[in-house]
Structure formats: C-alpha cells, structure tokens
Chains A and B, each alone.
Chain A
Amino acid sequence: MRKVNGWMIEGFWLLYNEMEKLLLRRRVTVVVGLLLVLIPIFIYAQYKQLQTVRARLGTDDWRLWTEQLIVDNENRLAASRLPDEWRRWLVIRNAQLRAYLAHDVDPNAPGAPGFVRSFMEAGMPLFVPLFVLIVGSDLASGERTLGTLRGLYAQPVGRMKLALAKIAALILSVGSILLIIVLVAYALSGLVFGYRGWTVPQLVGFRLEGETLDVSGVRLVPQWQYVLMLYGLGWWASTVVGLITFFVSSLVRTTAAGMGIVFALLLTGSVLSNYASSWQAAKWLFSTNLDLGTFLSGLMPPIEGLTARFALLNLTAWGAAALLLSFWRWMRQEAE
C-alpha cells in the first residue's frame, strides 16, 4: 500500500478524522437544532418588549425614548431604598445614554445586526459556552466509553498529536458554531426587524472609573465592526471553555460526569456574578470572566473591580493550564 508521510499531512488527516467523528455524532446538528428553536423565541421576546415600550411612551422618536429612559432612571435613583449595585448601574447607564444622545446615535436602532449583537451579548457568559459543552464533552471520554481509546493509542501516531487533533477539531467547531449563530440570528431576526443596519454607528471606548463613567474616549464604530469585535471576544471565551471541557473530558470516565462538572463550573460563575458581585475573589474563577461583552458596551462588569485586561489574561491562563494538563494526561494515561 502507498504510504504518505509528513507532519502536516499527518496532522491534517488526524484533524479530518476528529471532525468526521464529531459531525457523525451529530453534535453540531444538535446545536443548530437548538439555535433554530431558541432564536425565534428570543426574537419574539425582543419584538414584544419593543412594542411595550412604544405603547408606554406613545412615540416612535428614539430621542424622546432615550430622554424618557434617562428620566425614568433618575426617578428610580431618587427612591431611597435602592441597593448600591443597582444605583451604580443606573448612574452608568444614564451616562451612557447621554453620550448616545450627544453623538446623535440611536442605542437601540432596530435591525437584524442589532439582534445578532444582543444575542451574543446575552449569550456569552452561559448560553454559548453551553453549545461548546455539547460539542466537546465526549471528545475524550467518548473514546474511553466506546473502548476505542486503545485503538487510537495502538496506532503509529504520537499521543500528543492525537490530543492536538482533538483540540483543533474543537476550536474549529467553536468557530463554526459562532458563524452559525450569526447566520441563523441574522436570517431569522431580519424577517421581523429588517436586514439593514450593519453601518449604524455604535459607541465604544467607555471607561469605568469607580463610580463614574468616563466618556471622554468614546468613539463611533459601525455596527459590523462592533459585532466583529464582540464575536471575537465570544470566540476566545468559548475556546477557553472548550479547552477546559476537553481537559475534564480527558480526566473522567463518563461523558455525563464531565458534562456535569463543566456545567457546574459555568453555573457557579453565573451565580456568583449575579448574587455576590462584590466578592472580589470570585474574579479568579474563569466562569465569572466569560462575559467579555460588558467591557465593549461599557456596562458594569460581572464582578466588581474586574477589568478587561484582567479578564482576558485570566481566561488565557485558564485555557493554557487546561491545554498543558490535557497534554500531560494524554501522554501519561494508560488505555484500559
């Protein structure tokens, strides 16, 4: 038989194998199915909310809306029994809305691109990582359960390369999932909100300084650029979740256990940022750092004192550690 050698070629075919298994297991199909069911629900929810606001304010002029929103927030601030966090959030939100007014930009300009953006903003800390979990959780433990791990290990292929191929396949599918999210969200929400709006300007460059929002560095970027940056951040957050998922999957014997562990970690992060956002030590956990979108939009970070630089570095450190530990595990373990 003809034999073909070479590191690149070998790596390519290993990746091909892993992608084939991943696709034939229909994990990506499950994710696409979920998106097709869930996105219309979100679209309808946003449509209903828009209608409610319109009915309440009785106008279509976005400037009047925004001004009314600022007044509403200030009225709420005047109420004395507001928790500290809420108070801060409202102050910052108002500063932001004023900046939008000053730049003559509608913060909630309707359109499919706006929906694509808000879907990722809402989904980055929990929803999108969940998709990664669906795709990646049996990448290693599945081979163990099927008894195919020894089949892989008995082949004349380095174990490190096997692990690398699996990780590459996972990263590739994370990218594909984000791409699918953009396509499905855009295609479906366009039916309701219209397909235009990629060039609508958006504000970036808010800087949070203690209690106040520094708007001196605010710049205008078109919506498509904003979406690109947002999905870039989402891709990085999801990739880190993918690396951690792969490591846990390499450790445990069953897929269910691995899925449970990573899901618990994700939920812990989400619970901590919702109920204990002033406990600063929580920022060291990777799952409280996943909501990178807040640094772009200039809203309150999920945990007090969390900065964009810290969150990115922390996530990267978690990802690198998971990667190294995965390699160690794959080199060391004996196949049963």
Chain B
Amino acid sequence: MVDALEDAPAMEDVLVVEGLTKRAGGRTLIADVSFRIGAGEVFALLGPNGAGKTTTMRAILGLVRPTAGEVAIAGRLLRRERKAALAAVGSLIETPAVYPFMSGWDNLWHVARMRGVFDAEALRALVAQVGLSPRIRDPVRTYSLGMRQRLAIAMALVGRPKLLVLDEPMNGLDPPGMLELRRFIRRLAQEEGLGVLLSSHLLGEVEAVADRIGLMLGGRLLWTAKAADVRKAAVRRFRLRLRPAARAEQVLKALPFVARFERRHEGAAAPAAEIGDYLVWFAEAAEEESPDAEKQAGRRAERLAERQEERQAAALVAALVSVGVEVYTAAPDVPPLEELFRSWTAASRKPS
C-alpha cells in the first residue's frame, strides 16, 4: 500500500487516517485507507461512484463505526475523544442536510447551539461569506440547490473548525457555481489555514482546487500525489477534429512537442473518412522553459504548466492550419479515471 506519510506535508496535521477499514454485511466497503491532511491543505478523494469515498468520510465523522483503523482530527482520537474531535470538523455529506421548514438563519442557529457558539455577529459574517445575506431569513424550502449548498457550507463552518469535510460538493452546481465554490475553498485553506477533505468522481472538478489528490477504487486508496504531478502525468492531452486526416497526420508526426497521437474511430464514418478525430499527447516541458518553476510552490508551477500547454496547443493548431488543414475542434481532454490511473502509475516510480 501507499505510505501516507511520504506525501504528508510538514505542517500540523488536522486529519490523520490510519488503516481505516469498514466491513458490513459480508462486503468490504473500504480497506486499509490511510492518509493525512495538513492545515491549509486541500485533499481530494477521487474515484468512481461506489469506490468508498463517502464511507471513508462517514467513518471520519463517526457516522459509521470502522471495523479497524483510527481517525484523529486536530490531534484528538475520534474513538476516544469523540466530542473534542467532532468539535474540530465541519461537514457536508452528500445532499445538504438542512431543514426546509426553517429559515436559513434558524438552520444556522440550530448548528450553532449544538456547537456552543452564541455569537450572532460571527454567524452574520459567515452568511455574508457565503453570499446568502439577502435571503437568509427566507424559509429554506424556497432556496435553490446552490443556495442550500452554500447554507450547508456556512453551517459546516460554524465554530471555526480546523477541518472541513465536503462530500461531492460540486454535485448539482452550475459551472459558475462550481468556480465560485472552488475559489471559496481555496480562500478558506489559504487565508484561514483550514484543512479540507473533498471528494469527487471527476478529475476536472478537483484538479484546480486540490493540493493533493488521492485515487480511490474498489474501497482502496490506491494512490496519493500532488495535484501538479497528476496534471503533468495525465492532463497533457488534447482532442482534435479536423480534415483532411492524412495531411494532418504528417504534421503531427513532424511536430517536436507532440509525444504521440492516436486516431479515434467512433462508429463507421466511411463517407467522412476525410474527417479525423485525434487524441494528442504533448511532450513534457523542458526545464529551461520555466526556470523558476522549481522555486515556486504548487499553484504557480501549475499555472505555468497550464500556460505552456496552451502555447503548445496554439502552435499545434497554427501548424495544422498553415498547411491547409481545417480544424473543427481543439480542446484539452480530461481522461477517464481508469486511464488516468494507468498513466499515473506508469509515470511514477513508486510501486502500487
């Protein structure tokens, strides 16, 4: 198994999960899951539905009793000091657990009273932080899903927890909503030093927000790696739709920064044989192209990589057009999880 300690940052750990296992009804839901989250770090559990992400989060929150393993939140063992451990974590599991017959404000107070927080000013600040101030007195049943989500996040933040657990937080959000939530999570982590554990089944949803990503499949945490490394290993892929195919292939073969490409055959498109759909993998950037990348921490390097990828894409399209190839589609492509996992393990020296 992966040694969770190896990737762990040097900062104070707000969450330590060690050998977490849950068996129920003869089935193993999660097996030997171990990882750590430092203060100010965003960690994403990535995996298809049924991979055990939610079960892991439920065990961390004490909602299910693990068969084996330990959970420590902010240095408190959940098994021994349940109350102190849970006081340090705010959570949002699956659908926002809010009472539709109460107002947003009443829902917030409901949590505040259980957490022993009696500070209306702080609650008001939380409401403003999630942008619900104008509607907070309205009954929750009149809220949209996005608003419920924001209310639930405000509820999770009552009492300033050290760890935030968000299960599929992007579910049901529209693209602007997702972007907003990502920014919000990053801000919480960076400015308030909150450790964040979130889950998703789509890499595209978490690659921009997470510092580290853990891949879960079949109840096991197969891999954890820095988000920037994941990007390097897997995201440098481009999707093209163009005509004519033969001339384009000559160009692709000639370009130095194209590592490899493959033609995709979707159905029998005989009459449109001239049109070709391609997946193109870019070569990894040379070190000298971004000399300061090494000195900069994750985010900056990632942004540079992104820019470089965009430059490569622009050069690719320009080269194709210059020889008279018509380009219909050119877009970055996020590979499915299984492929990601293969390329991920292939790109790494560590055994799985």
Please report A residues at the B interface, Cβ cutoff 8 Å. 1-5, 10, 13-14, 16-17, 20-21, 24-26, 146-158, 334-335
CB atoms of A150 and B159 under 8 A apart = no
Number of B interface residues, CB 8 Å?
38
- B285 lies within 8 A of chain A by Cβ: no
- Contacts A3-B116, A154-B61, A335-B63 given; indicate if A24 touches B95 (C-beta within 8 A): no
| Nearest residue, chain B, Cβ from A155 | B114
CB atoms of B97 and A148 under 8 A apart = yes
Partner of B113, one of A13, A26, A149, A151: A13
Can you list 7 A-B contacts with CB-CB less than 8 angstroms, sorted by A residue number?
A17-B113, A20-B106, A146-B97, A150-B58, A154-B89, A155-B115, A335-B63
Partner of A156, one of B64, B101, B114, B160: B114
The 9 closest A-B pairs by CB, nearest first: A151-B97, A156-B87, A13-B113, A156-B86, A155-B114, A154-B61, A148-B97, A335-B63, A3-B116
Residues of A near B158 (CB, < 8 A) are 1
Known: A3-B116, A4-B116. 20 other contacts (CB 8 A): A1-B160, A3-B115, A3-B117, A5-B116, A16-B113, A17-B110, A21-B99, A21-B101, A24-B99, A146-B100, A148-B98, A150-B97, A154-B63, A154-B89, A154-B91, A156-B86, A334-B63, A334-B65, A335-B58, A335-B63
How far does the alpha carbon of A153 sit from the alpha carbon of B64 in the complex, in Å?
10
| Nearest residue, chain B, Cβ from A26 | B101
| Nearest residue, chain B, Cβ from A335 | B63
How far does the alpha carbon of A25 sit from the alpha carbon of B95 in the complex, in Å?
21
CB atoms of A147 and B94 under 8 A apart = yes
- Contacts A1-B122, A1-B159, A147-B94 given; indicate if A17 touches B102 (C-beta within 8 A): no
How far does the alpha carbon of A147 sit from the alpha carbon of B95 in the complex, in Å?
8
- B118 lies within 8 A of chain A by Cβ: yes
How far does the alpha carbon of A161 sit from the alpha carbon of B160 in the complex, in Å?
23
How far does the alpha carbon of A196 sit from the alpha carbon of B63 in the complex, in Å?
58
| 8 A Cβ contacts from B137-181 to A | 155, 158-160
CB atoms of A24 and B106 under 8 A apart = yes
- B93 lies within 8 A of chain A by Cβ: yes
Partner of B110, one of A2, A20, A147, A154: A20
Residues of B near A2 (CB, < 8 A) are 117-119
Partner of B159, one of A3, A16, A146: A3
Residues of B near A26 (CB, < 8 A) are 101
How far does the alpha carbon of A98 sit from the alpha carbon of B97 in the complex, in Å?
64
CB atoms of A150 and B93 under 8 A apart = yes
| 8 A Cβ contacts from B56-84 to A | 58, 61-65, 82-84
* Chain B interface, >50% SS class: loop
- B330 lies within 8 A of chain A by Cβ: no
How far does the alpha carbon of A309 sit from the alpha carbon of B54 in the complex, in Å?
53
- B111 lies within 8 A of chain A by Cβ: yes
| Nearest residue, chain A, Cβ from B158 | A1
B116: min CB distance to chain A, Å? 5
| Nearest residue, chain A, Cβ from B83 | A156
How far does the alpha carbon of A148 sit from the alpha carbon of B98 in the complex, in Å?
6
Partner of A20, one of B84, B86, B102, B115: B102
- Contacts A146-B97, A154-B89 given; indicate if A14 touches B106 (C-beta within 8 A): no
- Contacts A21-B102, A154-B86, A158-B83 given; indicate if A10 touches B97 (C-beta within 8 A): no
How far does the alpha carbon of A147 sit from the alpha carbon of B93 in the complex, in Å?
9
| 8 A Cβ contacts from B193-251 to A | none
CB atoms of B122 and A146 under 8 A apart = no
| Nearest residue, chain A, Cβ from B159 | A1
How far does the alpha carbon of A152 sit from the alpha carbon of B115 in the complex, in Å?
11
How far does the alpha carbon of A25 sit from the alpha carbon of B61 in the complex, in Å?
28
A20: min CB distance to chain B, Å? 7
Residues of A near B82 (CB, < 8 A) are 156
Residues of B near A156 (CB, < 8 A) are 82-87, 114-115
| Nearest residue, chain A, Cβ from B117 | A1
- Contacts A1-B117, A156-B114 given; indicate if A150 touches B83 (C-beta within 8 A): no
| Nearest residue, chain B, Cβ from A162 | B114
Residues of A near B61 (CB, < 8 A) are 150, 153-154
- Contacts A20-B106, A156-B87 given; indicate if A14 touches B99 (C-beta within 8 A): no
| Nearest residue, chain A, Cβ from B59 | A334
B61: min CB distance to chain A, Å? 4
CB atoms of B62 and A1 under 8 A apart = no
Residues of B near A151 (CB, < 8 A) are 97-98, 111, 155
A231: min CB distance to chain B, Å? 31
How far does the alpha carbon of A64 sit from the alpha carbon of B25 in the complex, in Å?
75
| Nearest residue, chain B, Cβ from A10 | B116
B160: min CB distance to chain A, Å? 6
Residues of A near B160 (CB, < 8 A) are 1
Of listed A1, A26, A148, residue having the most chain B CB within 10 A: A1
B225: min CB distance to chain A, Å? 29
- Contacts A1-B122, A150-B63 given; indicate if A155 touches B111 (C-beta within 8 A): yes
CB atoms of B119 and A1 under 8 A apart = yes
